Structure 1
């Protein structure tokens, strides 16, 4: 075995793994297009400030997990740990803040230095959907409905549950924050060191602590519901009514939070019990201040990200390996006609392959090995009569087909 192996937290995508992976992406791409989303692509690395502003200077991602380096020109660059900040940067730098809303679909690799485990890698892949420039709860409902439709198309919706919450507007959060500070201050003795730090900086983050002691305290913490302003309550009620109209089932989870001030109103996660600790397969919410962090005007936005690896793992069966047609020339004289047939099949959209060398037996062995559905066998006698032998490699049946009719026969 070679001493050169994939870097820890990365993997190669080959065979079934590759088919699962790209099936998720292509399915999401097709569904998003039916919802009117256009695909964007942004650089894999950005100015580090893009992510420091987007994720918060004190977040775990920025402080502990980003792949940041100084290039030869002395600039600090970072491999993207997520897509949304780059998309918002692109909105501003491409002058699109006057052409709103923008509905964006996005996919690609992301990078975080974290402990690899089931469904979690240091290079991982996401699909993203964003509506940039709408403050309507209908936009929130539409991006959630798009996610639900993708999960249905992948055949995994039955294994997930949509958990929904509201973070309210700024006034709601200010009231709620004060209530949380009062509550957690009264229980400081039982809080973890991380949560004591969060109590000073952002008490909402204590609500999603994984520490067992914190979780016991959080269980009795107040929810945001009684602190919602009338406007925030109406927004949330409208969103839920839209989801019911779209046929998207959900359950309330008052503990879903987001750690940065520019998040507001909707927060949601599609969760599963089939992947152990990595229970969230798709999550997002409304972020109405991120574009401003990128130097643009106030631009309300909502979106989500989903992990391709986790969705791939949820799929019961991988897509079937493609079964093409093997062209099998017998003798040198048959090869030119074989190449003509090969080209014609490919031009008709039929997957077709030819072995580079070997006798009839070896070429047929290769046809079976690659999982071909049929073999087109051409010898000098067949060419003289203007025909080929076409063998169905599933049933074993063989028929003589005119050379002029092979494409139609196999299409």
Structure 2
């Protein structure tokens, strides 16, 4: 069976993948090494034997990027790891290092011997990356693509990558290729596949089901939905209005109001510059650009930031300012649109609208962790949330008028 699964935050997609992978020879692709470490723990809980194959930079406590830097760290005495194999394999970088073991070397030495191998999804983005793990596909029975929306992206490659030119286009002397069709080619012969994401709602599913030759399954029930309140403020947030005094003051007043009631709040704005601008206007509140744990504070960030996806934030409310249509001046954006169009799909739909909805869903997902245990609140500020209501998950759209 081959499945594209859409399920809301809190459904337990990672645990489902771990359970399905644990009883067979499996490859699990995740977005980051932190998610990989968590997945390994889940696989162990379900009786599987996990291995991780991530790069040096993410697994080295000192961020070494290659073997030469590893050697220098050891020779200089900065790195005190003495062994490649721990007495018992644990999936905690700090604990492995405290035990005198190099986490990168330990995890790689053990990784290929396990029945469930966990890798970064970036391995599927280029032919050169895939070739490094091609042997793992020889006997694989199950492949999981967690946070599969990340495959709808473009990457720069060299001519030697031997991509299908259908998926590529040259721009300013550089060759750019769409990732999803290549990934689909790699997993074509695998019988059991699950590609999971909270962002791939039914409206955007065709592109994924077509290339992955998969059936779409949608889980609409949001765990803890009774604890979620969503409100919509139809303010016209645009490039020409978002710095006008009346608009700025209206947004700031709402943020202060939300903070007064919920105390731990994250605010997402259209870009990094606007996030900085608004943070400077909120100095009467405890403001930060990063999470500060369980103390009262307002995190001011932007759509697509490092804390907009794949991390859990200890917050009780989220304020999303602006429907995050991507930067229309981006050459990469319109390159993606043209590539998707060339493959027979609506380039604007999948290149522009999907990007915006993905940003919304991922930002909201940072707030909804723990929804079954406590009350949470989401405020959507922009009239376009109503215009694009049909594209949003039901747990958001039902509150938009």
TM-score computed with the length of structure 2 as normaliser: 0.30
Higher gyration radius (CA): 1
